[in-house]
Chains A and B, each alone.
Chain A
Amino acid sequence: GESVGLHLPTLSVQEGDNSIINCAYSNSASDYFIWYKQESGKGPQFIIDIRSNMDKRQGQRVTVLLNKTVKHLSLQIAATQPGDSAVYFCAENTGNQFYFGTGTSLTVIP
């Protein structure tokens, strides 16, 4: 079966610092990836996506890096704010369905 895993279940960062959340995926055929943010009591919120023909994509304060050689995905959040505290999921898609990791809980320390 598919396997999308996260290196760290929890991450604490100081407000203003940069955060890096990592994700490993197992299917080399996956060609589309999404990062989601989920706050307590809410559904996952789309943050940024990337296709396999790219290795980097930037959004507002967020950057996603894709390393297909080692099947690794990361989400970088610049100048982390208290509002960034949430669980972050990566998801991979082979064109058929999405597979999700279990999530990394990010806590921002004021």
Chain B
Amino acid sequence: KAGVTQTPRYLIKTRGQQVTLSCSPISGHRSVSWYQQTPGQGLQFLFEYFSETQRNKGNFPGRFSGRQFSNSRSEMNVSTLELGDSALYLCASSLTRGGNEQYFGPGTRLTVT
């Protein structure tokens, strides 16, 4: 069974631009969560999608948004990029919501210049 895949793996953007990242969960998994990882901050939860609905949201500004499609694939969008948005963005999938085994993708490394 294929793991979680994320595209693209690397991105370089300029301040003020927007970016869309994609995540394909493990086949059969319906929950997708997104995280931001920066040095010294660890993993910070962005949001979780389940059955095409955002079920939970972390403490990030509205510039960060996402969606989930009927095939459980998910995208996250960051608008009006800031230098501080440079990070590794990880998505994780699990079979269902709540406390269950969660598996991560390789991440998308976003650099904002």
Contacts and interface: CB of A to CB of B under 8 A. Distances in A.
Interface of A: 31-32, 34, 36, 42-46, 49, 51, 89, 91, 93-103
24 contacts: A32-B99, A34-B101, A36-B104, A42-B106, A42-B107, A43-B4, A43-B105, A44-B90, A46-B101, A46-B102, A46-B104, A49-B101, A89-B42, A89-B43, A91-B43, A91-B102, A93-B98, A97-B48, A97-B56, A98-B43, A98-B102, A99-B45, A100-B43, A101-B42
Do most interface residues of chain A lie in helix, strand or loop, or is the interface mixed? strand
Q: Which of B44, B45, B90 has the most CB of A within 10 A?
A: B45
Nearest to A32: B99
B99 A43 contact: no
B42 A97 contact: no
Contacts of A100: 35, 42-44
Contacts, number: 56
Interface of B: 4, 6, 33, 35, 40-45, 48, 56, 58, 90, 92, 98-107
Nearest to B99: A32
A100 B43 CA distance: 6
B105 A102 contact: no
Contacts of A97: 33, 45, 48, 56, 58
Contact of A96 (B4, B98, B101): B98
A28 to B, nearest CB: 15
B42 A98 contact: no
Nearest to A9: B40
Given A96-B98, A97-B45, A97-B58, 6 more contacts: A43-B4, A89-B42, A95-B99, A100-B44, A102-B40, A102-B42
Q: Which of A43, A89, A91 has the most CB of B within 10 A?
A: A43
